[in-house]
Amino acid sequence: MITWLQNVVSPPTGSKANSLTYSLAQNYPNPFNPVTTIKYSLKAPGRVSLRIYNVTGQLVRTLVDGNVDEGEFSVKWYGGNEVGQKVSSGVYFYKLIVNDFTKTRKMVLLK
């Protein structure tokens, strides 16, 4: 809906008011210790992969792997690997893949 000079204008018939896009936000806080939050949004449902890698490209942790509806989401990472062991301080990369969208961002874990 649009408000213009005190009048409310409805979206045209047949249009979608969905303003979501595919996006992967910078984690917060960054640098972090001991936990960080990663936010992402999906404009359409799809198979989502959100994974964390170390600087050598090795998989550290899979945070999301499955079908997800459209919307806005957040995931916390507690600085652990797949078996729950704490990882060392350093630079890590997190990568979101969904449908034809791929985005990678960098984060720093400081202890």
CATH number at residue 45: 2.60.40.4070
90, part of any domain? yes
75, part of any domain? yes
In contact, 79 and 87? CB cutoff 8 Å: yes
Residues 9-42 have pLDDT tens digits of 555 555 455 678 999 999 999 999 999 999 999 9
Q: Which domain holds residue 84?
A: 24-109
- pTM score, two decimals? 0.82
pLDDT the model gives residue 6? 60
Mean pLDDT of the chain: 90
- Count of domains for the chain: 1
β-pairing verdict for 23-24 and 7-9: unpaired
pLDDT the model gives residue 41? 97
Residue 5 predicted with pLDDT over 60: no
